[in-house]
Amino acid sequence: MKVPRLVMFMGCLAVWPLLGAEQPHVSTPGTPGVKSEGFKTVGVEEFDKLRAEGHNPVLDVRTPAEFAKGHMPSALNIDVNGPDFEKKVAALDKSKTYLVNCASGVRSAKACGKMSHLDFRNLYNLQGGFRAWEKAGKPVEK
């Protein structure tokens, strides 16, 4: 009887801890407090505290149309799916801490990943994105 490779792989993963080996760490973007590749995902309250400090730019990575419908005060809009995203963010000051948001937290995690590869070291992704921000009753500009 031939055993499918996936079944063999899953069996190896199940036995791995029994052999005393370390299990690989897997984190998912959007998990609060978990440091992903080059950025940290935080909840609305921590994001707002960082924003209130006044020197951490808010980067909204939604489309210009989404941004026009409402955004955080003083936010800068650079569409993560735009053809010139990397060129535009590369022109930003890499020494600053950036607070990155999108609609739900997925595109902002993607943007943080791209920015970390461009040597940005202080990035915070908003868990739940702008929807969570609005739901918490935080300030919105149009």
Q: In what order do the strands lie in the sheet with 39-42?
A: 35-36, 39-42, 122-126, 97-101, 58-60, 76-77
User: Which residue among the candidates 102, 112, 115, 126 is catalytic per the annotation?
Assistant: 102
- The stretch 22-42 carries a mean pLDDT of 55
How far from each other are the two terminal CA atoms of the chain, in whole angstroms? 64
pLDDT at 93: 96
pTM over 0.85: no
**What number is the average pLDDT over the span 98-105?**
97
Catalytic, 12? Answer no
